[in-house]
Structure 1
Amino acid sequence: MSHDDAGRIAFIDGLRTFLTQTPTSYHVADVVSRRLVGAGFIRLAERDAWPAEPGRYVVVRDGAVIAWVVPRGAAATAPVRIIGAHTDSPMLRLKDLATDDADGWRRLGVEIYGGALLPTWLDRDLAIAGRVFDRTGRPHLVRTGPIARVPSLAIHLDRGQNDDLRLDRQRDLQPVLGATTDDPDLDVAALVASRAGLEPGDLAGGDLFLVDTQPPQLLGAREELLAAGRLDNLSSVYAGLAALLAIAGGVRGERLVDTADYVTVLAAFDHEEVGSGTRSGAAGPLLEQVLVRVAGQLGADEEQRLRAWADSWVLSADAGHLTHPNRPDRHDPARHPLPGRGPLLKVNANQRYASDGAGAALWHGLARAAGVAVQTFVSNNAVPCGTTIGPITATRLGMRTVDVGVGLLSMHSIRELCHVGDLRALSQIMAAFALSAEEAA
């Protein structure tokens, strides 16, 4: 086994563990912060005064997490290298913990969070996961085992489903979690409270989702494919975390801390799938507030901070589309991103992605430095394009931004698919971005 093969296997094993540990954005922020604290980062509270000295820090706000390295000797005008991603994925969110009975079945009420591919949520073994609050306002992460299922309608009862399946968002997506005859006094709130280590009467609120319980799985004759939920966008979060851990440790990490002339940041936001307009989303104030305080750690005044931001870059990482082999007509006819050919540079004339010529030059230079192949994604002109945190952070902060990501099949399905080589390659480029001031100049 070559060194590169061993590195790829270790990376994918780490990603599979990460995906298993992080069913919701709140779990993502917690796991990322704990990994970084274990690597020597100091977790800060927003309400406290922050240290004036250089170092490695991390802060969590709800389902968002931001980590940064302030190098010793950095100037007040030190630019910033930001790896951006988002922690949330399309899901079914519980309206509350009340239940209703219908024809012998006990059901939960759910809303659709984000642009979920709804048919993929049928007939899956689902758990409840998220966070709850006790009566003192303290949050607790929670996760049950398989507990619910959204049942499909038998083909015998509607033989036209294979030709024209249309799911009513209220009627057809309500999950069942038991039979009324078996447990007429089922109390979901008490069940969730117990999983969080609370007494039923101590549960005062929560943000809870239904999540798939099937673990990530390697597929393909050479196990070159990874099938998993939430690859959009935990593939980017984990790649950024792995890159930050790699450059913040060992000989090169000491170089980064001791002699770098820029600040390295990992910013993973919540609520991208619903527009980012929240206190923990990319359109909210979190990143700007952190960067202003980081500038204070460098002793920068407003003029120096704006000069630093003018020389800064954001690498906005979010999943993109691989060419679907059964529906190539949905893609640009001459430009087909392929599995295993590298991560994607995402380009859109209407600025749904923030990439431009300068960003493309940066991206290709980083790929050369990392020794990996890359591809470009553009949409079919007749197919509307999605968007990312990239245009939002560029608009809010005025920083140069390039949109990139790993290509997927079945994006926004409960279970997505990608090539394992592309996953590690993205992290390698992120590490080159954080370490190579020359390429990012």
Structure 2
Amino acid sequence: MSDHPAAFDRGHTDDLMAFVTAAPTPYHAVAAVAARLEKAGFRQVAETDAWDGSTGGKYVLRGGAVVAWYVPQGAAPHTPFRIVGAHTDSPNLRVKPRPDTGAAGWRQVAVEIYGGPLLNSWLDRDLGLAGRLTLRDGTTRLVDVDRPLLRVPQLAIHLDRQVNDGLKLDRQRHTQPIWGLGEVTDGDLISFVAEEAGTSAAEVAGWDLMAHDVQPPAYLGRDRELLAAPRLDNLLSVHAATAALASLAGTDLPYIPVLAAFDHEENGSQADTGAEGPLLGNVLERSVHARGGSYEDRARAFAGTVCLSSDTGHAVHPNYPERHDPGHHPMPGAGPILKVNVNQRYATDGSGRAVFAAACERAGVAWQSFVSNNAMPCGTTIGPITAARLGISTVDIGVAILSMHSTRELCGADDPFLLAAALKAFLADGS
């Protein structure tokens, strides 16, 4: 572990809070990433266009995923990549194809549970609604109703006297939010959302809508040393990687730095915008070929490539320390974590540890190790998927948080900056 922590920068965390607020859905997240990259001089390229081998920053958007890369002056076709992988999605409640429903005089919205949320954290919260509308001409339009609109009401304790002995929610019957009173009419919700988006319901051909907590991020604690916010898993990593990549534009680098922010990690990554899809591999290969590279150049580039899979991990919980490995207790404020699982739920090995430790040392950032209690099943990330799909060396890292998969998660207020500093050192290795 390094003992030379970098100077803290709360300006980075302030910007993260603005980023999270502007990104209630994966579609908004990639739009916010694109805006930051454009400001740094990156330009969007279309997958349907022919690509050239020019230098500079470029990015591709597809749905809720973005891949961005910076080609420095003099980069050869076989120049290896340095990749930071993350994901834009978070567990939540998503609107069904027939959204208008209700019972007993209440108007409700039919929702489907996405990923693995802590369902009780969605109870009795003021929820907004956001996502994208697909119009009849094939274009899409982002929409964000960022005000109290929905609520999933919990049954009063007087009607459930044993609730404090264990709350059990029926995922179908007990998770449908209310949004008003009166008769249920088909088309009401989409008409309302279309108007919010500045269009008409007649123009809407499809939608991808989801609920989100409207309470803004906030510093927490006596000394404001903690950050409470929605979607830290994993917008914290997306934001840190974007900041690191944007800061390297215009510099001389030995590698080609890459940001790959995927969608659908929370439900298995099996999507065209997920880590198991071809998006990242296609972008890397096309970058090699655009610079005049051959299959041999592609093989050489991939052989020298390293990916940091950056996702949140578990800080030791003070009320449940027995759920953690007794020798590994990651804490907020102590730097990013290196995530290890010998059964390849995380992709880290000894060589990856060395790469990450060297990056943290160059950045002057302390770091910690995370491993699960042997009696507890271990989660997984995009790391093993990326390693297996592309055959590139991959290391799993992240920031330790509490309340993972809650509507509102908790991390150290300085950890986002420390992660970004480590990611920048990794992407700029040798420069």
After TM superposition, the score normalised by the length of structure 1 is 0.94
Corresponding residue for residue 46 of structure 1: 47
Residues 363-422 of structure 1 deviation map (CA, whole Å, 9 limit, x = unaligned): 111111000100000000010000000000000111101000000000000100000121
The one-letter code matched in structure 1 to 2:325 is D
C-alpha contact 1:75 1:261 (8 A) present in aligned 2: no
Secondary structure of the structure 2 residue equivalent to 1:171: coil
Counterparts of 1:374-413 in structure 2, within 5 Å, are 374-413=367-406
Offset of residue 425 of structure 1: 0.6
Kindly indicate whether residue 261 of structure 2 is the aligned counterpart of residue 261 of structure 1.
no
> Aligned equivalents of 1:70 and 1:12: distance in 2?
28
Offset of residue 96 of structure 1: 2.7
Corresponding residue for residue 171 of structure 1: 173
The one-letter code matched in structure 1 to 2:353 is A
**Counterpart among 320, 327, 337 of residue 327 in structure 1:** 320
Residues 59-94 of structure 1 deviation map (CA, whole Å, 9 limit, x = unaligned): 100000011011121112100000110000000011
1:186–1:148 distance in 2 versus 1, CA, 3 Å: farther
Corresponding residue for residue 340 of structure 2: 347
Secondary structure of the structure 2 residue equivalent to 1:116: coil
The one-letter code matched in structure 1 to 2:142 is L
The one-letter code matched in structure 1 to 2:165 is D
Moved more, 48-57 or 370-379: 48-57
Q: Which runs of 5+ in 1 are unaligned?
A: 249-253
C-alpha contact 1:406 1:426 (8 A) present in aligned 2: yes
Corresponding residue for residue 275 of structure 1: 268
Offset of residue 185 of structure 1: 8.6
Secondary structure of the structure 1 residue equivalent to 2:84: strand
Secondary structure of the structure 1 residue equivalent to 2:150: coil
Secondary structure of the structure 2 residue equivalent to 1:188: helix
Corresponding residue for residue 34 of structure 2: 33
**Counterpart among 287, 302, 310 of residue 303 in structure 2:** 310
Offset of residue 297 of structure 1: 2.3
C-alpha contact 1:97 1:188 (8 A) present in aligned 2: no
Offset of residue 50 of structure 1: 1.6
Offset of residue 298 of structure 1: 2.0
Secondary structure of the structure 1 residue equivalent to 2:206: strand
Residues 238-262 of structure 1 deviation map (CA, whole Å, 9 limit, x = unaligned): 00011112222xxxxx333xxx232
Kindly indicate whether residue 279 of structure 2 is the aligned counterpart of residue 286 of structure 1.
yes
C-alpha contact 1:218 1:226 (8 A) present in aligned 2: yes
> Aligned equivalents of 1:410 and 1:393: distance in 2?
26
Corresponding residue for residue 148 of structure 2: 146
Aligned length: 426
Corresponding residue for residue 73 of structure 1: 74
Corresponding residue for residue 180 of structure 1: 182
C-alpha contact 1:130 1:143 (8 A) present in aligned 2: yes
Runs of 4+ in structure 1 over 4 Å off: 183-186
Corresponding residue for residue 349 of structure 2: 356
Corresponding residue for residue 82 of structure 1: 83
The one-letter code matched in structure 1 to 2:339 is K
**Counterpart among 408, 415, 427 of residue 434 in structure 1:** 427
Corresponding residue for residue 11 of structure 1: 12
The one-letter code matched in structure 1 to 2:79 is A
C-alpha contact 1:117 1:413 (8 A) present in aligned 2: yes
Offset of residue 180 of structure 1: 0.7
Kindly indicate whether residue 416 of structure 2 is the aligned counterpart of residue 423 of structure 1.
yes
Offset of residue 423 of structure 1: 1.4
C-alpha contact 1:54 1:297 (8 A) present in aligned 2: no
> Aligned equivalents of 2:136 and 2:202: distance in 1?
9
Secondary structure of the structure 2 residue equivalent to 1:124: coil
Counterparts of 1:127-146 in structure 2, within 5 Å, are 127-144=128-145, 145-146=147-148
> Aligned equivalents of 2:119 and 2:325: distance in 1?
25
C-alpha contact 1:320 1:407 (8 A) present in aligned 2: yes
Offset of residue 13 of structure 1: 0.7
Moved more, 51-60 or 273-282: 51-60
> Aligned equivalents of 1:10 and 1:410: distance in 2?
24
> Aligned equivalents of 2:175 and 2:102: distance in 1?
15
Q: Which runs of 5+ in 2 are unaligned?
A: 1-5
Q: Indicate the structure whose relative CO is greater, using CA pairs within 8 Å and at least 6 residues apart.
A: 2
Offset of residue 437 of structure 1: 3.5
Secondary structure of the structure 1 residue equivalent to 2:67: strand
Corresponding residue for residue 58 of structure 1: 59
C-alpha contact 2:254 2:429 (8 A) present in aligned 1: no
The one-letter code matched in structure 1 to 2:404 is M
Corresponding residue for residue 211 of structure 1: 212
Offset of residue 51 of structure 1: 2.4
> Aligned equivalents of 2:420 and 2:153: distance in 1?
38
The one-letter code matched in structure 1 to 2:156 is A
RMSD of equivalent CA atoms? 1.5
Secondary structure of the structure 1 residue equivalent to 2:148: coil
Residues 168-219 of structure 1 deviation map (CA, whole Å, 9 limit, x = unaligned): 00011011000117x9798111111011111121111011101110100100
Secondary structure of the structure 1 residue equivalent to 2:351: helix
C-alpha contact 1:97 1:189 (8 A) present in aligned 2: no
> Aligned equivalents of 2:284 and 2:227: distance in 1?
35
The one-letter code matched in structure 1 to 2:251 is R
Kindly indicate whether residue 358 of structure 2 is the aligned counterpart of residue 365 of structure 1.
yes
Offset of residue 38 of structure 1: 1.9
The one-letter code matched in structure 2 to 1:148 is L
Secondary structure of the structure 2 residue equivalent to 1:130: strand
Offset of residue 229 of structure 1: 0.5
After TM superposition, the score normalised by the length of structure 2 is 0.96
Corresponding residue for residue 107 of structure 1: 108
Kindly indicate whether residue 192 of structure 2 is the aligned counterpart of residue 191 of structure 1.
yes
> Aligned equivalents of 2:283 and 2:29: distance in 1?
19
C-alpha contact 2:348 2:396 (8 A) present in aligned 1: yes
Offset of residue 52 of structure 1: 2.5
